[in-house]
């Protein structure tokens, strides 16, 4: 008899274990990360770091219950890129408030793993949670952007909007669209978008971390 057994997923490590492992990666050349030479594409470093931390990727589950792991590409002390947060779909945003939002949950505790893009090494990981000031900015941007997306106006929003958060396309290519429904049920198609932390916002986070060595 064939009996299906769900593939045994390794237990996800605890937040403390992830923290300890991330700190142990400091200084490691990227070439020594597990999967180097195998992982490809723009997310290759992110995938390798997650593997090094013992995190099994699986659709629709947070990295670790209470910690979101993000690589943070640096060129010198400059944050090189904006940071992807999560998808911005009309349907989910129609039923979210800031307090219940995925953006807020994901950003509540982030373990940033700096990546030195010049030396090609992993940097010293640090934990970040939004300060009161930062949370106010994020909330204001989210409430503005989420409202527009929820009302089916996402297509009209440019990445220029928002000080901390921005809305940008997120798809394999510009031809992709997804089915969505107006609040009144009318169906339409829209290009997938996502919330990103602006590069300048990430830069502030880097500088605050450097200024507070107690955190690293």
Partner DNA sequence: GGGGATCCACTGTTGGATCCAG
Partner DNA sequence: CTGGATCCAACAGTGGATCCCC
Residues that bind DNA (CB under 7 A): 1-4, 39-43, 45-47, 49-50, 57-60, 63, 68-71, 73, 80-84, 86-87, 89, 115, 158-160, 166, 168-176, 178-179, 191-192, 194, 198-200
Measured from the CB atom, the residue of 21 and 168 that comes closer to a second copy is 168
Which secondary-structure segment (H or E) carries 127? strand 126-128
Measured from the CB atom, the residue of 76 and 185 that comes closer to DNA is 76
Task: Say how far apart CA 54 and CA 126 lie, in whole Å.
Answer: 17
Q: Are 167 and 194 in contact (CB under 8 A)?
A: yes
Count of residues that interact with a second copy, criterion CB under 8 A: 7
Choice from 37, 175, 187, 213 touching a second copy (CB under 8 A):
175
* Closest distance to DNA from the beta carbon of 211 (Å): 21
Pattern 194-213, a second copy, x by CB under 8 A: --------------------
Nearby residues of 216 by Cβ (< 8 Å), 6 or more positions away: 124, 125, 126, 209
Task: Say how far apart CA 94 and CA 57 lie, in whole Å.
Answer: 27
Q: Which of 164, 161, 155 lies closest to 193, judged by CA? A: 155
Contact between 65 and a second copy (CB under 8 A)? no
* 112, 140, 84, 154: CA torsion to nearest 10: 180
Stretch that binds a second copy, among 11-19, 65-73, 142-150, 169-177 (CB under 8 A): 169-177
Interface with a second copy (CB under 8 A): 2, 4-6, 173-175
């Amino acid at each position: 008899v064939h009996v299906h057994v769900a593939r045994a997923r390794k237990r996800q490590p605890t937040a403390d274990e992830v923290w300890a492992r991330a700190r142990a990666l400091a200084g490691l050349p990227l070439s020594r990360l597990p999967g180097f030479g195998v992982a490809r594409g723009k997310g290759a470093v992110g995938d390798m770091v997650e593997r090094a931390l013992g995190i099994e990727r699986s659709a629709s589950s947070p990295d670790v219950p209470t910690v979101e792991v993000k690589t943070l590409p640096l060129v010198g002390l400059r944050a090189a890129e904006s940071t992807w947060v999560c998808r911005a779909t009309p349907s989910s945003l129609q039923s979210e408030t800031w307090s219940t939002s995925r953006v807020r949950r994901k950003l509540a505790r982030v373990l940033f793993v700096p990546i030195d893009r010049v030396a090609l090494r992993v940097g010293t990981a640090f934990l970040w949670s939004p300060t009161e000031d930062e949370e106010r900015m994020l909330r204001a941007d989210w409430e503005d952007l989420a409202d527009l997306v929820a009302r089916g106006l996402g297509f009209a929003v440019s990445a220029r909007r928002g000080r901390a958060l921005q809305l940008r396309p997120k798809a394999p290519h510009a031809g992709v669209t997804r089915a969505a429904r107006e609040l009144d049920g009318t169906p339409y198609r829209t290009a997938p978008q996502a919330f990103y932390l602006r590069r300048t916002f990430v830069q502030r986070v880097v500088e605050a971390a450097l200024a507070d060595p107690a955190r690293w």
